[in-house]
Amino acid sequence: MSESALSAPVKRFLTGLGFSVKGEIDGCDIVAIHHGAPPLLVIAELKLGLSFELILQAVDRLTAADEVWLAVPQTRKGRDRDRRARRLCQLLGVGLLTVNLKTGHVEPECRPGPYRPRLDKAWRSKLVREFENRRGDPMEGGISRRRIMTAYRQTCLALAAALQAGPMRPRDLAEVSAKAGVMLRANVYGWFERTAPATYGLTKLGAQEVAHFLAAEEAAGKAGGSDGVQGSDR
């Protein structure tokens, strides 16, 4: 199968929108003009799959055209079905067409034009909260095979460090975190155990974890700086 198999369906689609359409003009797969005042110039690029190279080609075409459309074969699980890819096209102001090569049907997945994605307020709030609560900058960017040092984990480590002195009540740990009681009861990492009513100590795992972390902190401090384990609330 070649890209030319997309040509006739895309030409029919643009013709149906009122454009005069011609193929292969000055390196562009399809050029279409809607004769008005002023005329509207459209470029369509045909590819067998949605790729970064095709996106770059679209960006280049935007300097000459009023609208740019990308056309790819319709698939079940390809990039053309990925909402992120469609959103990228929208952000660039590029239209995306998928072509059913069996029927010739052309589906506009997104249309060219200005686009601003709807703000995800919950995610934004989560990002800001984690940023503000995380102490220092303990993580390198791009890490995928190490545990993430979240603000919640930092606070649990701070609680565990305090409990090295022996079992305590949540109110004794209020200076570490105002949510000490909630976090001790939740015991997300399995580090804490209730030793008496309203009193908590460290499990064997908790003692090992905080000892390992503090040793790593000491080594990092000697190497030139440390972010410590002072508490912060999630």
Say which CATH number the domain at 173 has: 1.10.10
**One domain, residues 55 and 134:** no
Contact 71, 99 (CB under 8 A): yes
Among the residue ranges 32-41, 117-126, 200-209, the one predicted with the least confidence is 117-126
Domain boundary among 110, 136, 166: 110
List pLDDT tens digits, range 82-101: 889 888 998 899 999 999 98
Q: Is residue 103 part of a domain?
A: yes
Task: Band the pLDDT of 191: cuts 50, 70, 90.
Answer: very high
Q: Is residue 131 part of a domain?
A: yes
Q: What is the pLDDT of residue 228?
A: 53
List pLDDT tens digits, range 14-32: 999 999 999 898 888 999 9
Mean pLDDT over all residues of the chain? 86
Q: Is residue 60 part of a domain?
A: yes
Q: Is residue 78 part of a domain?
A: yes
Among the residue ranges 61-70, 171-180, 218-227, the one predicted with the least confidence is 218-227
- Helix (H) / strand (E) element for 68: namely strand 67-73
Spatial CA neighbour of 9 closest among 112, 21, 58:
21
Taking residues 144-150, what's their average pLDDT? 75
Query: Residue with structure tokens 């609560």?
Result: 133
Q: How many domains does the chain have?
A: 2
Phi, psi of 104 (to 5 degrees): 80, 5
Taking residues 50-68, what's their average pLDDT? 90
Q: What is the pLDDT of residue 118?
A: 76
Domain boundary among 87, 110, 133: 110
d(CA 142, CA 50): 25
| 132 compared with 194, residue with greater pLDDT | 194
**One domain, residues 103 and 147:** no
Q: Three-state SS string across 20-49, please?
A: EEEEEECCEEEEEEECCCCCEEEEEEECCC
Full residue range of the structural domain in which residue 84 is found = 3-110
Q: Which residues pair with 40 in a beta bridge?
A: 34
What the block records as the tokens of 60 is 């280049």
What lies within 8 Å, CB to CB, of 40 at 6+ separation is 19, 33, 34, 66, 67
Q: What is the pLDDT of residue 231?
A: 52
Instruction: Record the pTM.
Output: 0.59
**One domain, residues 33 and 90:** yes
Domain boundary among 110, 138, 170: 110
Q: Is residue 115 part of a domain?
A: no
pLDDT of 147 strictly over 80: no
What lies within 8 Å, CB to CB, of 173 at 6+ separation is 159, 162, 163, 180, 184
